[in-house]
A and B are shown apart, each in its own frame.
Chain A
Amino acid sequence: MSIIQAKDVKKWFGDFQALKGISMEVAEGEVLVICGPSGSGKSTFIRCINRLEQHQEGEIIVDGIELTNDLKNIEAIRSEVGMVFQSFNLFPHITVMQNVTLAPIWVRKKSRSESEEKAMELLERMGIPEQANKYPGQLSGGQQQRVAIARALAMEPKIMLFDEPTSALDPEMIKEVLDAMKVLAEDGMTMIVVTHEMGFAKEVADRVMLFDDGQMVEENTPELFFDKPKHDRTKLFLSQIL
């Protein structure tokens, strides 16, 4: 049973077509890695999945809810889909704890004490419980990104989207974030990860996709994707980044 279905999704920015008909499905509990050159539409596509961008043609169905302009649907989707950004986008004016409890308290209308308990659990799972009362600006990049993951998880989403979560990080911090993501994957979270960390893809992904020029060029298991790619475009891409 697939939790995300996209059928022939097309998206234009003005005259420029960023997505040229993407069709794919993601099963529950699956980890999907998307890679591809810069500007190929990876971000645009996963941002369509939680409606940060609107697609103009085709359909996207998430957990049985079709994405339309209906505000109710958008609200429902956003509480089921968590997102982690390349540039963290933590709220700098409130503490880490407040960042993580904001959504449960205001969107889910849970009590403060319950939310804080849950938040502490999440921060522990991310390995940063001691940072709870600091401000985001006082943390390292890797720590900030783990707070961002905890913030997304606090909504108890069924699906997590990651848009290049490690590309703004110094090399020594990449591992700590990837490890945190591995834990998530092992716990059975459905994940779509845009990344160029091929080690992560080989180890954790169930499937790998290559985007190029607004199209999905190749879709394969990690073993085949890296060892026996079907398309020349994939070979070229792999030779460039490995």
Chain B
Amino acid sequence: MVDVIKKNIKSVQESLFSSVGSSVLTIATSYLVLNFFRGMFGFIMSSDKDWLAVLNNMQLYMVQAYPESDFIRVWISVGLTFVFSGISIGLWRSEDRSNISVIFDRFFKVGLGLLFFTIVAPTFTSYMGNDGSVITEEVFSRSTRLGILIPTLIGTVGFLVLKNVKINFSYNNSDVVFLYLFIPVVLIWFVKLPVIQLDENRDRIMPDPLMPIANTTKIPWSVIFVLFLLSYFIGIYFKDVKRLKNIMSISWFLLPLLIFSWIFKKPVIEMNEVLTGDIPIFVIFFVVGLLVVLFINNPIVKKYYSIYLGVVLVGTLAGVFISIPMLAKACLLLLSLFSMVVPAVSTSTQGKRSLIIIWLVALVTLTFLLRGGASETGIIVPGSSIFGGFSLTWLLAIFGTYVSFPLGVMLALGRNSKLPIVRIICTGIIELVRSVPYITWLFFASVTLAVFLPAGVEFNLIVRVLMVTAFFSGAYFAENIRGGLQSIPKGQYEAADAIGMSPFQKTGLIVLPQALRAVIPTLVSSAITAFKDSSLVTIIGLFDFLTIGKTVIDNQSVPVNFVGHQRENLIFVAAVYWIFTFTLSRRSMKVEKRLGLGER
């Protein structure tokens, strides 16, 4: 034990006080950090601050004005996402195990930090009163300090002992996720914070009993946690079914579309239109696609392939000018793209089978999206945006990344293509999008985009913003990925050629996986940038997370007055942004490490 302490002291000495310069630096930095922390603590604790402004507006922060009667849609979507995650974590459960001492070590470090901050926290703080005088008050009494210090000290020492005792118990690294998630779920039942309550005259009753935080959400969260756990076990149970992994990957791709239309549009669907329009069109196109897949490589049919392709292409072009249902136009476009790929792929039974599945999924998605998108929405909210706050920020970040990533991959490959026309188009899109500031694109979305869309097609502002965002980050992704593509040695292409791989296989199996791996750090930082930049949408009148905190809440006077509480809200917003981006970058470091295995 004494040796351990000696060793630690020595390593501290070496890393912090190795020379005069580094000693000075260490002392100066500690002084700054300490002061910053003490100031922050005083700021947060002073009675001048009304944190109720944050606590009481959680709902506004999360979904803005989304109608409460439709919250069930949000909960189901969140639940579905967790179920999918649970199954996926189970299916891809890692075999890595860690010794229990890792957990003890983590708790020990948390305890150590807590101890440190409890000791250095200031007892008094001062702030400027309304009349300009400086008011000093006690914010951290000795008894509170001791009340925190003693249990923390006991806990910390306990964990220190535990982590140094050799316990022969190891746990699976995937399982432990659930332990960590279990802690907040339990906490929302027991930790209590003040919440404003109003009586029937809408007068404030204060200071009424402390309520558990997240009072209205504790049941849904608990249900979701249980579902999450259950789906994890389901995933583990079916771990060896390879097909399920493929199905899961495709489902992940479709999930955002479903959630998007489910939360965003509560489509008021006319069954009549579906029966007489959508279903016949769907069936016709499905059958045509099916026939193409099955018979195109028949030598007799093959002769007429170019005639067929010509007819479809002309039909697609004509579709732009003549008035046929939107779905038929879209299906024609899809069919012409599909028909170009089919002959090369449908050479084997396996290829045919996957083509048919792809065709079916694509058609279903398209029909679903167009029907959902073209129908009236059943969600009525004041203003132009269905929701705002964190869900808007999240939507822009996730959906933006989701769509822009494949778009970026396609643009990058297109820019490297041997076909001049493809190369020119892709380069053009990338350069055009990148040379105009994001804010300009946002204005374009809110003011100009409607002019470029076909007549009769109208999208909500949020959808238009999503469209430009997808292209904007897509162009950046494309350039990152192109960097990755260029880092792949020529020998890799030659080796793939030499074993007879087709250009598609070469790209999909050899080049892209390596290129993407090489650019994970830059991709993550692009995604983080997209997340943070989403706050710019405030310029075109959408209420993102930051705007809610900075403007909306600060203007609230009924039923409770929160005017003048911008600072509390800004700190809260900053903290939330930080937690998410920090977690994301930590995760990516882990992924990078795991994928890096091959390149060692």
Interface residues, chain A, with chain B CB atoms under 8 Å away: 50, 52, 75, 78-79, 81-83, 85, 87, 89-94, 102-103, 106-107, 109, 135-138, 151-152, 154-155
Residues of B within 8 A of A75 (CB): 500
Shortest CB-to-CB span from A36 to chain B, Å, is 21
A83 and B600 form a contact (CB under 8 A): no
CB < 8 Å neighbour of A109 from B348, B494, B496, B517: B348
Q: Which among A92, A138, A155 is the interface contact of B499 at CB below 8 angstroms?
A: A155
Question: Are A103 and B598 closer than 8 Å at their CB atoms?
Answer: no
Inter-chain contacts of B495 with A (CB < 8 A): 85, 89-91
Residue on B with the closest CB to A135?
B598
Give Cα A91–Cα B508 distance, bound, in whole angstroms: 13
Does B131 make an interface contact (CB < 8 A)? no
Taking a contact as CB atoms closer than 8 A, the residue among B491, B499, B509, B595 that contacts A78 in the complex is: B499
21 A-B residue contacts at CB 8 Å? A50-B498, A52-B498, A78-B497, A78-B498, A78-B500, A81-B498, A82-B498, A85-B491, A91-B492, A91-B495, A92-B514, A93-B514, A93-B517, A102-B509, A106-B501, A107-B502, A107-B505, A109-B348, A135-B597, A135-B598, A135-B600
Contact, CB under 8 Å: A152 / B505: no
Assess the B598–A155 pair: CB atoms within 8 A.
Answer: no
Q: In the complex, what residues of A have CB within 8 A of residue B497's CB?
A: 52, 78
CB-CB under 8 A from A83, the residues of chain B are 498
Residues of A within 8 A of B502 (CB): 107
Other-chain residue from A52, A85, A106, A138 in contact with B509 (beta carbon distance below 8 A): A106
* B510 interface residue per 8 A CB criterion: yes
The yes or no answer to B406 lying at the interface (CB within 8 A) is no
Contact-size category for B:
20 to 34
Binding site for A on B (CB under 8 A): 348, 350, 489, 491-492, 494-502, 505, 509-510, 513-514, 517, 595, 597-600
In the bound complex, do residue A137 and residue B599 qualify as a contact, i.e. CB atoms below 8 Å apart?
A: yes
Q: Which of A90, A94, A155 contacts B500 (CB 8 A)?
A: A155
B513 and A93 within 8 A (CB): yes
Chain A positions within 8 Å of B348 at CB level: 109
CB-based contact B505/A106 at 8 Å: yes
* B514: A residues at CB distance < 8 A: 91-93
* Contact yes or no, A107 B350, CB < 8 A: no
**Given A85-B491, A135-B597, A135-B598, A91:B510 Cβ within 8 A:** yes
C-alpha spacing A184/B348, complex, angstroms: 33
For B496, the chain A residues whose CB sits under 8 A away are: 91
| Complex interface: chain B residues within 8 A of A87 (CB) | 491
Q: Which 9 A-B pairs have the closest CB atoms?
A: A89-B495, A78-B500, A89-B491, A103-B499, A83-B498, A135-B598, A137-B600, A107-B500, A93-B598
- A residues less than 8 Å from B500 (CB atoms): 75, 78-79, 103, 107, 155
Chain A contacts for B509, CB-based, 8 A: 102, 106
Set of chain B residues within 8 Å of A151, measured between Cβ atoms: 499
In angstroms, Cα B353 to Cα A117, docked, is 26
Q: Within 8 Å CB of B505, what residues of A? A: 106-107
Smallest CB separation, B302 vs chain A (Å):
14
Q: Are A109 and B350 in contact (CB under 8 A)?
A: yes
B599/A92 in contact, CB under 8 A: yes
Known: A52-B494, A83-B498, A89-B491. 15 other contacts (CB 8 A): A50-B498, A78-B499, A81-B498, A82-B498, A85-B494, A89-B489, A89-B495, A92-B514, A103-B500, A103-B501, A106-B509, A107-B505, A136-B598, A137-B600, A155-B500
Distance in Å: Cβ of B298 to nearest Cβ of chain A: 18
Q: How far apart sit A91 and B494, CA to CA, in the bound complex (Å)? A: 11
Could you tell me the distance in whole angstroms from the C-beta of B439 to the nearest C-beta in chain A?
A: 39
User: When the two chains form the complex, which single residue of B489, B498, B598 contacts A94, counting CB atoms closer than 8 Å?
Assistant: B598
Between A50, A89, A103, A151, the greatest number of chain B beta carbons within 10 A of the residue's beta carbon is seen for: A89
Asked if A89 contacts B499 (CB within 8 A), the reply is no
Nearest CB of chain A from residue B1's CB, rounded to whole Å: 38
Determine how close the nearest CB of chain A comes to the CB of B228; give it in whole angstroms. 31
Query: Quick check: B492 and A89 within 8 Å, CB to CB?
Result: yes
Contacts of A82 in B (CB 8 A): 498-499
On whether the beta carbons of B498 and A152 are closer than 8 Å, the reply is yes
Are B513 and A89 in contact (CB-based, < 8 A)? no
A90 to B502, CA, bound (A): 17
* A152: B residues at CB distance < 8 A: 498-499
Q: Which residues of A have CB within 8 Å of B513?
A: 93
Q: Is the Cβ of A92 less than 8 Å from the Cβ of B598?
A: yes
* Cα distance A78–B500 in the bound complex, in angstroms: 5
